[in-house]
Amino acid sequence: MAACGKRLADAAKNFDRNVKYTVQEAVTILQKSASKKFDETVELAVNLGINAKKSDQMVRGATVFPHGVGKVVKVCAIVPADMVEQAKNAGADFYGSEELIDKIMQEEWTDFDKLVTIPAMMGKIGKLGKVLGRKGLMPNPKLGTVNNDITAAIKLVKAGRVEFKVNKAGVLCCMVGKLSFGPDKIYDNVVEFIKDLQKLKPATAKGAFIKKVTISCTMGPGLKLDESALANEAK
C-alpha cells in the first residue's frame, strides 16, 4: 500500500487536478506513472445527467472498439445441435446445446466472459437467470448476444464488443484498452465509445447528458477530460 501511495504521489506531480486534458495528453501522463510489471487497463468513468433511479433513464449499450480492449474474450455459444459446428468454426471457446445449459445449471459453471445464443434458445436459457444474471452474463438481443446469425454474434464479441451500464449513482464505467495501446489508439476507442453513448441519451433526460469524463489506469490517478471537446469530436 505504501508503494502504491508513493506512486500516486509521484504521478500527481505530472498533472493538475484542475485542468481538463485531451485523451492523448492524459494517456501520456498515465504512461509516465505506469507500473512496469504489467500492462495496465485504461478505463473511463462518465457522470451522466440522468436520474438513474427512473427506469426510463436507464442507460445501457455496447461498443465495438476499433482497436479492441487488449483482452482475450472467452465466448460460450449455446445453440441448437445442428448449429454447434457453426459456432465452433466461428471461434467460440465453448459450444454446445442443452448439455451446456445443464452444466451451467447443475455446476453453476461460468468460466466464460460472454454467452451468445439465438432467439429460439432463449426459452430454455431463461431458467439460468439466477446463475447468469448475478454475473451479468445473460444474453440480450439489444447487446447483440442474441442473434440468429450466431457467426456474426461471436465475431463481434471476439472483436472487442464491450457492454456498459450506468450504475445507481448515474456513473458509467467502461474499459477502453491497455496503456500499451498508446495515446492515438486509446483516443480512437474513447471517441467510438462517446459516439455510441451519445446515441443513448434518454428522451426524458434534460440538460447536458455527459457531465464529466475521467480517465484512469489500474494503478494510476484519475484525470479529467474535456467532455465538451470529446462530444464534438464524437459527432
Please check the confidence at residue 7 and state whether its pLDDT lies above 80: no
- pLDDT tens digits, one per residue of 64-114: 898 988 888 899 999 999 999 999 999 999 999 999 999 999 999 999 999
16-69+162-233 CATH choice from 1.20.120.330, 3.30.190.20, 2.60.120.480, 3.40.50.300: 3.30.190.20
Share of the chain above pLDDT 90, in %: 71
Residue 9's pLDDT is 53
DSSP states along the chain: -HHHHHHHHHHHTT--TTPPBPHHHHHHHHHHT--SSS-PEEEEEEEESS-TTSGGG--EEEEE-TT--S-PPPEEEE--GGGHHHHHHTT-SEEESHHHHHHHHHH----SSEEEE-GGGHHHHGGGHHHHHTTT----GGGTSB-S-HHHHHHHHHHTEEEEE--TTSEEEEEEEEGGG-HHHHHHHHHHHHHHHHTT--TT--S-SEEEEEEEETTS--EEE-HHHHHHHT-
Residue 210's pLDDT is 95
Share of the chain above pLDDT 70, in %: 94
Q: Would you kindly state where each structural domain of the chain is located, as residue ranges?
A: 16-69+162-233, 75-159
Report the CATH superfamily, name and number, of domain 75-159: Ribosomal protein L1/L10, domain II (3.40.50.790)
Please check the confidence at residue 134 and state whether its pLDDT lies above 50: yes
- pLDDT tens digits, one per residue of 197-235: 999 999 999 899 999 999 999 888 899 999 999 989 988
